[in-house]
Amino acid sequence: MPFNYYSLDESKPEQKATKDRIKRNIKLLKIGWIKEVYDGLEYIEENMSGVLIKGILKKLQNVVDNISHGLIKKIYDLFLADLRDKTIKQIDVFTKCAKLYDGSNLDDLLEKYTKEYLKYDLTYKSCVKKHQNFKELESYQINTFKHRIVQTNKMMACDGQASSDKDIVREIYKDYDTAKRELYKQIGYTQKAINLIFKDDSILKVNPIIKRPVLDVLRMGYEYALNHLIENLKDTFNK
């Protein structure tokens, strides 16, 4: 049963123990999520930067013959750092909301925190707000936010003796198929957003010179994330 973390009274031993356990669980979950962020960025750096940089250079070769590969790489590295920082800030936002969620106040939390969550969403920020498909894309990002709040609230309440995020996932979802269903619910919204962008890439607020390489990286990044998360689940449940 969902409950507001801040409603717990630390002067009462039982509630203090519950609060301490939740703090532990949140710490373990965030360690796992942040590791996924760094793993993903490492994959992008190793496997996708070449795609993006070569794509840009190919587009520019008839415009600026002497453009520096190193300069584009520096710009790309700044982009990765921004992506890392904003993704971690998103984790902070939905974790904060999960602690406030009590099972009945989701709409209130969305009204109060959606703007902050979307501020750190690079897909959302990279799209044209006046585009005819923008509202649909926005709804997918908000649904992802909602799902993260509810599932994080569920996981942070784990009362087992967890020592890792994988212990928490096993305790809460019990089996691989249940956990995979929840993963697909969340990742499904991302898939719909990406499909929408590919359907009409004029929604992207990106210079035409780099649009195709950016789309390639977006697709590759999604495929990596899905495969990586599924492999993590298999490892968690010894599949």
First to last CA, the chain: 29
pLDDT tens digits for 50-67?
Answer: 555 555 545 545 444 444
Q: Strand, coil or helix: what is 128?
A: coil
The length of the chain, given as a count of residues: 239
Residue 187 lies in a domain: yes
* pLDDT for 98: 96
List the beta bridge partners of residue 204: 127
Q: Work out how many domains the chain is built from and give that number.
A: 1
Residue 6 lies in a domain: no
* pLDDT for 197: 93
pTM of the complete model: 0.86
Residue 117 lies in a domain: yes
* pLDDT for 107: 97
Return the structure tokens found at 83: 């992506």
* pLDDT for 64: 44
Phi, psi of 111 (to 5 degrees): -60, -35
Residue 121 lies in a domain: yes
Tell me the residue range of the domain where 80 lies.
11-236
pLDDT tens digits for 75-119?
Answer: 555 566 777 888 999 999 999 999 999 999 999 999 999 999 999
Alpha helix (H) ranges present in 48-105? Answer: 49-60, 69-100
* pLDDT for 75: 52
Residue 169 lies in a domain: yes
Using the CB atoms, write b or e for 63-102: b if 16+ within 10 Å: eeeeeeeeebeeebeeeeeebeeebeebbebbbbbbbbbb
**Average pLDDT along the chain, 239 residues, taken 10 residues at a time:** 81 89 94 89 70 53 49 56 85 96 95 96 90 97 96 92 93 94 91 93 81 74 86 92
Sign of the alpha-carbon dihedral angle for 84, 90, 95, 96: positive
Question: Which residues make Cβ contacts (< 8 Å) with residue 196, sequence separation at least 6?
Answer: 133, 136, 137, 140, 203
Residue 191 lies in a domain: yes
Residue 5 lies in a domain: no
Residue 4 lies in a domain: no
